Amino acid sequence: MDGTFAVLFLLAGAADMGINYCGDPGCVAANPAQARLAISYGDVIFQEKKIGHEVYARYDLGVQYGPFQPTVGLSVSDKGDTWVGGGAAWTGYIDQAYIQLHLMPGFHAQGRGPQIGTVLEFRSGVELGYEAHNGIRYGVSYDHRSNAELSETNPGLETMQFRISFPM
């Protein structure tokens, strides 16, 4: 996987912004949004092989700028690798089904996991799921981390997880 999710995030967000957000007061005006706490668990994949598991917590802030909602996250693998970062998420709905794309630069601290390049690692991905009437979301997420060629070493790392998010 490469930067495909980052490009999709930017294209979907820009299209949504142009269609739905560029009236008065402006394309990236602050608007209230549903704050959420998400917890996920799943597989860590390195060079197409499952190498362990990861727990990931993410908090989506209660504001959005145009279609982009600020978000922060922290993940820890069973090998002690840690990632912490912040960025933005874009969410699209069809009835109660949703798709969410995110792009988050962050810092990686290597434990006993593979060498993936630099301390700065970009996390981008997609989540598909269902939002229940009570606001709880159930989804499956897939994301990719890499350093965007900031280092000669850039093998990338993926995760495939089940996520539950709760409105705050």
Domains identified in the chain and CATH numbers: 4-167 (2.40.160.20)
How far, in whole angstroms, is CA 158 from its chain's centroid? 12
What's the pTM value of the predicted model, to 2 decimals?
0.92
Q: How confident is the model at residue 1 (pLDDT cuts 50, 70, 90)?
A: low
Q: What is the mean pLDDT of residues 25-49?
A: 94
Give the C-alpha separation, 129 to 127, whole Å: 7
Tell me the two tokens of residue 96. Answer: 């109660």
pLDDT in tens, 89-142: 999 999 999 999 999 999 999 999 999 989 999 999 999 999 999 999 999 999
How far, in whole angstroms, is CA 19 from its chain's centroid? 23
11 φ/ψ angles, rounded to the nearest 5 degrees: -70, -45
Q: Residue 57's closest CA among 69, 43, 75, 45?
A: 75
Q: Residue 68's closest CA among 84, 91, 46, 51?
A: 91
Tell me the two tokens of residue 70. Answer: 């600020």
In degrees, rounded to 5, the angle at the alpha carbon of residue 66 between the alpha carbons of residues 62 and 71 is: 40
Helix or strand (DSSP H, E) at 146? strand 137-146
Give the C-alpha separation, 92 to 67, whole Å: 9
119 φ/ψ angles, rounded to the nearest 5 degrees: -70, -35
Q: Which residues pair with 159 in a beta bridge?
A: 44, 143
- Assess whether pLDDT exceeds 60 at residue 39: yes
Give the C-alpha separation, 8 to 80, whole Å: 30
Alpha helices in 48-168 (DSSP H): none
